[in-house]
Amino acid sequence: MVLALAGGRASADPSPPQPVGVHRCAENYPESALEAGIHGATTIAFRIGADGVPTDLQVEKSSGNDDLDNATLKCIAVWRYEPAHADGKPVEVPWKTTVTWDIEIPVPLPKPGTLHDCLSYTPSADEEAHATAPVQIHFIAKTDGSVSEPFVALSSGSKTFDEAAMQCASRWQYLPATRDRQPVAVGWAVRVALQKGVPVVAENFAKPHLCFHYPEKALRDHIEGTTILAFMINTDGRITQASVAKSSGSKELDEATIVCSSRWMYRPAKRDGQPIAVPWGAQVTWTEGYAFVLELPTDLRN
CB 136 within 8 A of CB 191: yes
pLDDT in tens, 193-238: 898 889 988 775 544 566 768 888 888 888 988 899 999 889 988 8
Where does the pLDDT of residue 136 fall: very low under 50, low under 70, confident under 90, or very high at 90 and above?
Answer: confident
Percentage of the chain lying above the pLDDT 70 cut: 88
Kindly report the average pLDDT of the chain as a whole number. 84
Q: What's the whole-model pTM score?
A: 0.49
Where does the pLDDT of residue 242 fall: very low under 50, low under 70, confident under 90, or very high at 90 and above?
Answer: very high
